[in-house]
């Protein structure tokens, strides 16, 4: 009888937690693809305060190199993602619409 009582004491908090957990997950804002790619820019010291849209360039991408175009408030970037090594970032244009050439220098 004592075993059942202890088991009941352990399962009651667990059941309450299981009921609360999905509500907590739904309250969190899901991370978008643009936000995930913008995090790579932040790690490299590149400004992207408000990532707007991320589009994958399927034709240019390779098996171990995903290429994305990321639109931020500051500029438009080409981001090449490599497994375990990070990203190469190249600005394509500024927020004013000026096209940029060359590389960002954040390899």
- 79 has pLDDT over 90: yes
> Per residue in 91-106, pLDDT tens?
998 765 565 554 444 4
Place 20 in a pLDDT band, splitting at 50, 70 and 90.
very low
Please tell me the predicted confidence (pLDDT) of residue 55.
92
The fraction of the chain above a pLDDT of 70, given in percent, is: 59
**How much is the pTM?**
0.61
| Most confident listed range (20-29, 30-39, 63-72) | 63-72
- The domain limits of the chain are 33-94
Show the beta-strand stretches assigned E in the chain: 51-56, 66-72, 75-82, 86-94
Tokens describing residue 33: 């693809």
Name the residue among 104, 58, 47, 45 with its Cα closest to residue 78. 104
In angstroms, rounded to a whole number, what is the distance separating the alpha carbons of residues 75 and 87? 17
- 86 has pLDDT over 90: no
Tokens describing residue 68: 């994305």
């Amino acid at each position: 009888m004592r075993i059942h009582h202890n088991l009941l004491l352990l399962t009651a908090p667990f059941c309450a937690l299981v009921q609360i957990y999905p509500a907590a997950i739904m309250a969190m804002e899901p991370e978008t693809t643009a936000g995930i790619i913008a995090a790579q820019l932040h790690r490299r010291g590149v400004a992207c305060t408000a990532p707007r849209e991320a589009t994958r360039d399927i034709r240019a991408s390779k098996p171990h190199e995903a290429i994305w175009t990321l639109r931020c408030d500051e500029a438009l970037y080409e981001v090449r993602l490599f497994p375990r090594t990070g990203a190469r970032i190249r600005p394509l244009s500024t927020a004013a619409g000026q096209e940029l050439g060359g590389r960002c220098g954040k390899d």
